[in-house]
């Protein structure tokens, strides 16, 4: 396949991949371990996957690309391909399949994971091409672990990674108000061949001229979005474009999906309702809600190129940074990644970008105004349906959320969802109009 596909060359080693895979597998088990018998399927919601199907799919993907790819061997699970191939099984159909029960599904995941670990640890997966497929499958499982958590949020399940006392109080530094003024300049948007593993939609680096702009130093908070709600933002037609207003009418929405008003404003955090925390970034708002807020505030969403220029460049420097703060790996002082809960929008001060923008990685994914399209010279990778089917219909998000593993987050990673999606851990920051 390396002769056909322009594969990025991973920087990972068999040992580092084995350690990461063990961690991702343990996370999966923690997430699904607390499910009751009825929760493995749950109530039908077309926007998410049934947990029982998704667990089997994670095992199938790892097996398909690492164990079965070299010789086309059969699966360890009978009928795995027609059950778990996400491009062959329509999203809605996944709720109505005759799936193996939870013990068999978990046994399948365990056998596949152990087989891959054994090959890594005995040197039978040491070639660059082998390591590429292991890293691809690792990140795929990481993404599904995050997807489990927004499924738990959507279905009102308890979060398997939260403490016994639920979400707890949010603490952190005071917010960073105002804008960062960024002068006109060029950015090399996309990945370079020196970056190691990247996804196909990041290939390859190309120059983009970005006019001068001013971008908020932090994400929009609950307090700020509440002012929009209480000012009738969901009822004012002039704040919404045609598609957004049609969605609002059909959904009957008058507030964010996870909010309610009792004696006070509350938001649902997984299986609990908590008092709305004014200093947290607003989360579970879709792209149309974000755009309506921007019009109300006299602001706009950043483009993808503006977002990355604010996150990855520095005044007077030609090279992009891997992370907003530089090249050092993320930690809790710099970014809220792989955590149990949101933190205030002013937290993680050590992770500021060179322009003074905070939390450009972690806490909440951030909507941009950019449609998800291929970069110039795009060439599909072996997992051909990762990006290509979604070009034109999805919107780019950047940054990562509190549920994103730190090993997956970096300035160049492109996430993408349709603009009506609010089930993911998505918020936004704004630019001066």
DSSP secondary structure string for all residues of 61-114: HHIIIIISTTTTPPPSSTTHHHHH-TTTS-TGGGGSS-PPPHHHHHHHHHHHHH
Mean pLDDT over the full length of the chain: 94
Q: Are residues 222 and 126 in the same domain?
A: no
In the predicted model, is pLDDT for residue 174 greater than 70? no
In the predicted model, is pLDDT for residue 164 greater than 50? no
pLDDT given at position 120: 98
pLDDT given at position 43: 86
User: Hey, what's the torsion of the CAs at 225, 227, 229, 230, to 10 degrees?
Assistant: 160
Tell me if 1 is assigned to some domain: no
Q: Are residues 30 and 104 in the same domain?
A: yes
Q: Are residues 329 and 220 in the same domain?
A: yes
Q: What is the mean pLDDT of residues 376-404?
A: 96
> Nearest Cα to 191, choosing from 375, 391, 44?
375
Q: What is the domain-level CATH number for residue 425?
A: 3.90.1580.10
Q: Are residues 286 and 387 in the same domain?
A: yes
> Nearest Cα to 177, choosing from 398, 345, 411?
345
| pLDDT 10s digits, 66-120 | 999 988 999 999 999 999 999 999 999 999 999 999 999 999 999 999 999 999 9
Total domains, the chain: 2
Question: Could you say which of 103, 120, 155 is where a domain stops?
Answer: 155
Q: Are residues 112 and 216 in the same domain?
A: no
Q: How many CB atoms lie within 10 A of CB 155?
A: 17
Q: Domain containing 384: what range?
A: 165-433
Q: What is the pTM of this model?
A: 0.96
% of the chain with per-residue pLDDT over 70: 96
In the predicted model, is pLDDT for residue 167 greater than 60? no
- Give the bridge partners for 416, in sequence order: 396
> Nearest Cα to 339, choosing from 168, 100, 177?
168
CA angle 312/315/320 to nearest 5° reads 30
Q: Are residues 116 and 151 in the same domain?
A: yes
| Angle between helices 287-297 and 222-230 in degrees, nearest 10 | 80
Q: Helix or strand or coil: residue 300? A: strand
Q: How many CB atoms lie within 10 A of CB 62?
A: 26
DSSP string, 369-384: EEE--PPTT----SST
pLDDT given at position 66: 98
Q: What is the mean pLDDT of residues 409-424?
A: 98
In the predicted model, is pLDDT for residue 165 greater than 60? no
Question: Could you say which of 155, 181, 198 is where a domain stops?
Answer: 155
Tell me if 6 is assigned to some domain: no
């Amino acid at each position: 396949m390396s002769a056909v596909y322009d594969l990025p060359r991973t920087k990972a080693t068999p040992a580092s991949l084995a350690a990461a895979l063990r961690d991702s597998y343990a996370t999966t088990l923690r997430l699904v371990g607390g499910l009751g018998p009825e929760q493995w399927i749950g109530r039908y919601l077309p926007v998410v996957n049934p947990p029982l199907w998704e667990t089997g799919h994670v095992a199938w993907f790892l097996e398909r690309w690492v164990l079965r790819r070299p010789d086309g061997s059969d699966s360890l699970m009978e009928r795995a391909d027609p059950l778990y191939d996400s491009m062959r099984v329509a999203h809605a159909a996944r709720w109505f399949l005759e799936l193996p029960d939870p013990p068999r599904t978990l046994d399948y995941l365990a056998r596949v994971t152990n087989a891959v670990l054994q090959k890594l640890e005995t040197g039978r997966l040491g070639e660059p091409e082998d390591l590429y497929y292991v890293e691809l499958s690792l990140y795929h499982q990481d993404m599904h672990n995050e997807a489990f958590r927004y499924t738990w949020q959507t279905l009102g399940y308890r979060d398997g990674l939260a403490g016994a006392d639920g979400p707890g109080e949010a603490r952190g530094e005071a917010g960073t108000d105002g804008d960062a003024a960024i002068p006109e300049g060029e950015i090399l948007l996309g990945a370079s061949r020196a970056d190691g593993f990247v996804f196909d939609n990041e290939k390859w680096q190309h120059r983009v001229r970005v006019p001068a702009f001013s971008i908020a130093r932090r994400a929009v908070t609950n307090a700020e979005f509440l002012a929009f709600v209480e000012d009738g933002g969901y009822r004012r037609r002039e704040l919404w474009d045609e598609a957004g207003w049609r969605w609002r009418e059909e959904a009957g929405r008058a507030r964010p999906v996870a909010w309610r008003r009792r004696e006070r404003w509350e938001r649902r955090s997984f299986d609990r309702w908590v008092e709305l925390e004014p200093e947290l970034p607003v989360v579970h708002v879709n792209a149309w809600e974000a755009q309506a807020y921007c019009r109300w505030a006299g602001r706009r969403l950043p483009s993808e190129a503006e977002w990355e220029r604010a996150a990855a460049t520095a005044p007077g420097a030609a090279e992009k940074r891997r992370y907003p703060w530089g090249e050092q790996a993320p930690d809790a002082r710099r970014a809220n990644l792989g955590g149990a809960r949101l933190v205030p929008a002013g937290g993680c001060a050590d992770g500021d970008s060179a322009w003074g923008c905070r939390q450009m990685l972690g806490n909440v994914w951030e909507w941009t105004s950019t449609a998800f399209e291929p970069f110039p010279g795009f060439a599909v990778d072996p997992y051909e349906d990762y990006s290509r089917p979604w070009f034109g219909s999805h919107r780019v998000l950047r940054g990562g959320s509190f549920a994103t593993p730190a090993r997956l987050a970096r300035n160049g990673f492109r996430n993408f969802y349709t603009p009506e999606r609010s089930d993911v851990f998505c918020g936004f920051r704004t630019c001066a109009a």
